């Protein structure tokens, strides 16, 4: 991550044209930080998980890399899951391009090798403090998912454990099944 110290306010940050570059920039505790570029495992899990969630429900949508601005921060989680009724739209009924201004019900972060787990965890905790119901922190290297909920300590899920979802979504997905998505089905590259 690249941090840019300075005296920007959240409003100043949101007016910067470069915040939507890839990878995205975030505003956390007065600091401007660029997310790391996702790798293959991260991208595959993000794509497949969004597809699985979107197939499991018609009332909610998993959206990748959607800017979420709330509680004095502007973050871009790997996936957010929001109800269709919460998705802000313009006069034409199309989703607006600036993101959302509330904590999504469910936030999902996929740890990249160069990412600091504490910083990612803090984004999940910030979301829970501001109304999110659940946060997942997926660690592809450890093959573990830490699940955060506002009313209990984090839970660790691995192997054939069924992953919990927000109560409005039924997604029968085990940790092992999710990590099996990383297999490509051809010879190993040396």
pLDDT, tens only, 92-101: 999 988 899 9
In whole angstroms, what is the distance from residue 49 CA to residue 61 CA? 11
Q: Work out the widest C-alpha separation in the chain, in whole angstroms.
A: 53
Q: What is the pLDDT of residues 99-148, one digit of tens each?
A: 999 999 999 999 988 888 999 999 999 999 999 999 999 999 999 999 99
From the CA atom positions of the chain, what is the Rg in Å?
17
Three-state SS for 177?
helix
Which sequence spans correspond to the domains of the chain? 37-180
In whole angstroms, what is the distance from residue 71 CA to residue 79 CA? 19
**pTM of the shown model:** 0.89
> Domain 37-180 in CATH: superfamily?
tt1808, chain A (3.90.1570.10)
DSSP readout, 36-73?
PPP-HHHHHHHHHHHHHHHHH-SSEEEEET--EEETTE
């Amino acid at each position: 991550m690249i941090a840019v110290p300075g005296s920007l306010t959240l409003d100043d940050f949101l007016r910067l044209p470069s915040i939507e570059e890839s990878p995205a920039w975030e505003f956390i505790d007065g600091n401007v930080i660029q997310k790391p570029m996702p790798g293959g495992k991260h991208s595959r899990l993000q794509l497949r998980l969004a597809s699985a969630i979107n197939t499991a429900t018609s009332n909610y949508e998993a959206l990748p890399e959607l800017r979420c601005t709330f509680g004095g921060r502007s973050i871009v989680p790997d996936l957010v899951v929001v109800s269709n009724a919460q998705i802000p739209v313009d006069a034409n009924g199309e989703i607006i391009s600036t993101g959302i201004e509330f904590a999504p019900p469910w936030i999902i972060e996929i740890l990249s090798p160069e990412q600091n787990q504490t910083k990612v965890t803090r984004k999940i905790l910030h979301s829970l403090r501001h109304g999110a119901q659940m946060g997942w922190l997926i660690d592809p290297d450890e093959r573990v998912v830490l699940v955060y909920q506002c009313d209990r300590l984090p839970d660790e899920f691995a192997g054939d454990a069924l992953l919990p979802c927000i109560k409005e979504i039924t997604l029968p997905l085990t940790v092992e099944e999710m990590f099996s998505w990383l297999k490509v089905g051809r010879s190993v590259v040396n």
